[in-house]
Amino acid sequence: MTKLSVNINKIATLRNARGGNFPDPLVFARKIQEFGAQGITVHPRPDERHIRYADVRALRPLVWTEFNVEGNPIPRFLDLVLEVRPDQVTLVPDDPDQITSDHGWDTIKHRDYLKDIIGRLKEAGIRTSIFVDPVPEMVEGAVHTGTDRIELYTESYARGFAEGKAEQAVKPYAEAARLAHRLGLGINAGHDLNLDNVEYFVRHVPHVAEVSIGHALVVEALWYGMENTVRMYLHKLASVEH
């Protein structure tokens, strides 16, 4: 079964909009795991506009499933993850002022840069994943960085699915996943996956170990409640066998 890691950034965004500590991301992380999610994801950015670096430190002892920390590997971020030692670090090439991630790494151009960072993380016993677009050259390039996994950036799939072009949109992801698997890479996926499109994705893209879902899941929880929403995702993922 493909695992569900819930990104709780949007919980922190709600907290920060009002001040204080309500809603408390730590409480939500604990409850989301109790509801059955197999992981918690956070993506601290330099301006701390949602998850703060202090949140990451506070979450570490509370996450008993898989703790995945995403981010651009600037020195401050690397210091944080080497201190906290999450189960997985996902390297994302986002700029400080980006609203959200919008592209994967050029694994050829940035091979040496990524190789150095990934080497430091693996020495600390941290599994690594890097954000990539579903492009064969970028998947092949990922192997030479030393990463354990890739995370397929799924925005173009989600857009195509919404436009009624699911078969066309999912094809490059299936091909990228098969290639990554042949090359010995684990496969994660994330960005704009939701209750409508996630089952189709994991049914047609082989070897997906986990999906990371945040914004859509939190929005859907406004309609269905957080526990119901988490269980709805788990039901959809469990219906697909790889």
What gap in Å lies between CA 59 and CA 210, rounded to an integer? Answer: 20
- Asked about 103 being catalytic, the answer comes back as no
Half-sphere exposure of 34 (CA within 13 A, CB side): 9
Neighbours of 97 (CB within 10 A): 8
Half-sphere exposure of 28 (CA within 13 A, CB side): 27
DSSP lists the bridge partners of residue 129 as 90, 149
3-state helix, strand, coil in the chain (%, to 5): 50, 15, 35
Nearest CA to 10 out of 20, 25, 31 is that of 25
| Tokens linked to 2 | 């493909």
What gap in Å lies between CA 5 and CA 167, rounded to an integer? Answer: 25
- Asked about 140 being catalytic, the answer comes back as no
- Asked about 43 being catalytic, the answer comes back as yes
Catalytic residue among 70, 199, 210, 220: 70
What gap in Å lies between CA 112 and CA 51, rounded to an integer? Answer: 29
What gap in Å lies between CA 53 and CA 42, rounded to an integer? Answer: 10
Catalytic residue among 151, 191, 199, 210: 191
Task: Write out the catalytic residue numbers.
Answer: 43, 70, 191
